[in-house]
Structure 1
């Protein structure tokens, strides 16, 4: 949320935006939103209830579409690029790891906390008034389906000072080592670590790209794209992995839970393609009109990521429950034709939602403005304990949704609230400088 121009409190050095990195972030969020909406289909049952058949399982050929919409490597690649520069500026200004990690974490945790609060209140009220548990569980899952990204990104953010120190010493050998470790842990059946190792490869490549270790070498980028693409084809063709890059119920092994060797190959290939496309796209992004549009999308990327499934529920309640929406056979040609107005309607609802959320974003900015770039003396324990609580709670939401079995999940609800409070308190300041507005606070850690 907010455009990340970034500056440390102790430094007035301006930070030059990398337009291409912002474009990657905007492109990725657009692909995620569009992809989720495209594969989400609603069907009214005989009793008037709403069901959401799993398109990828019902029509296996659609799993090939995930090659277009699995762009999470771009998020981690762009995130590593931005985090590397931000951490360097903070470190050079005399800052310590705890203060930077706290500010970086709150960029995700504060808007996530608002989203969780709104959804959990709605779940609690719905459960209290007797909403069908199956329906509530389905809705709770849909609203948390994107949450897997948050705990992984929080862990990588917390590890950034260590990962960047390794990068400064060994450069491109670090992502190579992470990739090799991911292959070993996957073969040994300890795949849970691959959530950090595989996505950490993309994150670490962001460091390398920022420091020029990947740029200016088209042959190297082409080798990454071709090598990663060939490895992916072998792993999903004659190899054991499915083509789907999104979790499909009952599919084993999966490419995403945990990230597989095929996903690792996809990360390498996608980063290679990004490097190859950088020069022509940079020339296009030099046009100010286009750049302003990219900034708008990039600036609200967190809002779009968190809230993009809410329009689906709005449309379900307004059009499907009363029987006002067309209901062609699921997966039929008419159903696919209905995807066009479906996407347009959802886009309009989301645009209105983004505008309506601006007061909440200003409130988030005001809280963020009261957190300093240095941890309060004696409060570092609160930061790390709060991060552990948040990672655990968000992971639980990602796996079971906001309403498992149609009930309010008490433990993760308490965990995310307490965790965010501890992270905020670890850097809370009472002597905020007047000139540091909420907007500039949001821009402080890119």
Structure 2
């Protein structure tokens, strides 16, 4: 992956915002399209997986219930070794962030300026979701929506924010972790795996759940290192890549077969140690497995991504990827809410039954259409206007990042409503206030006419 050259960018007078055709035309010849293909495919897998696993239904008493599919259909647990694609996101994130930070160093951009630019790209699409829940949660409570229902809806809709919080932290550490890779190479991966294993040993062995949360950084940060390895050619051929996959597979089989970990790589209670809450070393080995497989397939995937229609679809998804990711479960909440208003139409089927499975394609189509509508309305925020302000001192974007991550982590874990139905309407305002007060968002008064015409989005550094 490389950044766009000025000559390949659409002209400022061509449109208010670059179209998919503009972005396709702006693709540099040396861009690794497999990175974008994997990112786009992974987000679609995430959406389908979340929509499938949620198991939201109305019981015989007319109450809204959430019966996770993984809890009632244990045969689906091995499928999560494919459907849990967060390792792919961190793999391609490492690849892209290495390019971005090295480019910033070459241009003389400070860390503060670079981090603010990354925060703008990743958090500006988040702000409408925060505004949505800041308004909807108290309004729904005032209109008499049951507190338990509101809690289920908010927790389900805000699940994606945990990943964004962790990813923001990993991105912020890129200068440090990339320097570690450049100095130590594969020893940085081995060291990260050793520390992650030690954290699990203390957390699982000592029944200290809080200690395990350190592995959100050590596990995903180590998978992020694999992206550096890919970018720098440290996996030079199929033999090395398949060897990496073999290490991941053997490690997973041992941890699941001999160790205390569950088979499912997506969180589910009662089936061994939960692998995702908090992140466990099993996900690191899953990352090794997935990284080895997808990089071994890189030549075939590159030929596939080079097809004009495939690349146009890849560009389209990537240009709106944050909006799709952040809103696909709120789309589920909207559909469920409308269904409840109509007497629960479509929600009376018990998850896991034959009829329930038969209706999943229609369910996916309705949710996809709802998500597409939200993306159409909100997706342009993924192409923010250029920011001509001087680079800030690093403390400002770092403070914005920490405040945003703290707010997102609480909402992802607890939802907006407490167990007794009390609405914590202030929570969504934490990322909003942090973004404005600490300079991530540039206030409209200082925007210049036509700014949005410059190409941004995922083709930018």
Shift in CA distance, 431/48, structure 1 to aligned 2, threshold 3 Å? closer
C-alpha displacement of 1:310 = 2.5
Q: 1: CA distance between counterparts of 2:416 and 2:335?
A: 20
Q: Give the aligned partner of residue 163 of structure 1.
A: 177
The 8 Å contact of residues 219 and 284 in structure 2, kept in 1 or not, is answered as yes
Q: Give the aligned partner of residue 412 of structure 1.
A: 427
Which of 17, 41, 47 is 1:33 aligned to? 47
- The answer as to 2:257 corresponding to 1:237 is yes
- The answer as to 2:141 corresponding to 1:127 is yes
Q: 2: CA distance between counterparts of 1:187 and 1:211?
A: 32
More off after superposition, 150-159 vs 402-411: 402-411
The 8 Å contact of residues 372 and 428 in structure 1, kept in 2 or not, is answered as no
C-alpha displacement of 1:248 = 1.3
Q: 1: CA distance between counterparts of 2:397 and 2:134?
A: 24
C-alpha displacement of 1:59 = 2.5
1:1-150 correspondence runs (5 A): 16-150=30-164
Q: Give the aligned partner of residue 296 of structure 2.
A: 276
The 8 Å contact of residues 339 and 346 in structure 2, kept in 1 or not, is answered as yes
- The answer as to 2:338 corresponding to 1:318 is yes
C-alpha displacement of 1:425 = 5.4
Q: 1: CA distance between counterparts of 2:174 and 2:413?
A: 25
- The answer as to 2:317 corresponding to 1:285 is no
Equivalent position SS for 1:22: helix
The 8 Å contact of residues 370 and 428 in structure 1, kept in 2 or not, is answered as no
C-alpha displacement of 1:247 = 1.1
Shift in CA distance, 287/444, structure 1 to aligned 2, threshold 3 Å? closer
Equivalent position SS for 1:357: helix
**Any unmatched runs of 5+ in structure 2?**
7-25, 204-210
The 8 Å contact of residues 388 and 419 in structure 1, kept in 2 or not, is answered as no
Equivalent position SS for 2:263: coil
1:225-264 correspondence runs (5 A): 225-250=245-270, 252-264=272-284
C-alpha displacement of 1:46 = 3.4
Equivalent position SS for 1:177: helix
Length-normalised TM-score, structure 2: 0.86
Q: 1: CA distance between counterparts of 2:440 and 2:57?
A: 46
Q: How many residues align?
A: 434
Q: Give the aligned partner of residue 351 of structure 2.
A: 330
Which of 312, 316, 322 is 1:302 aligned to? 322
The 8 Å contact of residues 29 and 301 in structure 1, kept in 2 or not, is answered as yes
Q: 1: CA distance between counterparts of 2:313 and 2:458?
A: 18
C-alpha displacement of 1:264 = 1.4
Equivalent position SS for 2:222: helix
Q: 2: CA distance between counterparts of 1:4 and 1:408?
A: 45
Q: Give the aligned partner of residue 421 of structure 1.
A: 436
Q: Give the aligned partner of residue 234 of structure 2.
A: 213
C-alpha displacement of 1:40 = 2.2
Shift in CA distance, 428/135, structure 1 to aligned 2, threshold 3 Å? closer
Shift in CA distance, 326/187, structure 1 to aligned 2, threshold 3 Å? closer
C-alpha displacement of 1:121 = 0.9
Q: Give the aligned partner of residue 178 of structure 1.
A: 192
Shift in CA distance, 170/4, structure 1 to aligned 2, threshold 3 Å? closer
C-alpha displacement of 1:324 = 3.1
Q: 2: CA distance between counterparts of 1:78 and 1:252?
A: 30
The 8 Å contact of residues 95 and 374 in structure 1, kept in 2 or not, is answered as no
The 8 Å contact of residues 140 and 403 in structure 1, kept in 2 or not, is answered as yes
1:370-381 correspondence runs (5 A): 371-372=387-388, 374-376=390-392, 379-381=393-395
Q: 1: CA distance between counterparts of 2:45 and 2:179?
A: 32
C-alpha displacement of 1:373 = 7.4
More off after superposition, 315-324 vs 191-200: 315-324
The 8 Å contact of residues 247 and 257 in structure 1, kept in 2 or not, is answered as yes
Shift in CA distance, 196/223, structure 1 to aligned 2, threshold 3 Å? same
> CA offsets per residue over residues 335-358 of structure 1, 9 Å max, x none?
211112211222222222222324
C-alpha displacement of 1:394 = 0.9
Shift in CA distance, 310/132, structure 1 to aligned 2, threshold 3 Å? same
The 8 Å contact of residues 244 and 255 in structure 1, kept in 2 or not, is answered as yes
**Any unmatched runs of 5+ in structure 1?**
none
In the TM superposition, structure 1's runs of 4+ consecutive aligned residues that sit over 4 Å from their partners are 3-8, 13-16, 425-436
The 8 Å contact of residues 411 and 427 in structure 2, kept in 1 or not, is answered as yes
Q: 2: CA distance between counterparts of 1:431 and 1:416?
A: 21
Shift in CA distance, 200/144, structure 1 to aligned 2, threshold 3 Å? same
Q: 2: CA distance between counterparts of 1:42 and 1:262?
A: 28
C-alpha displacement of 1:251 = 5.0
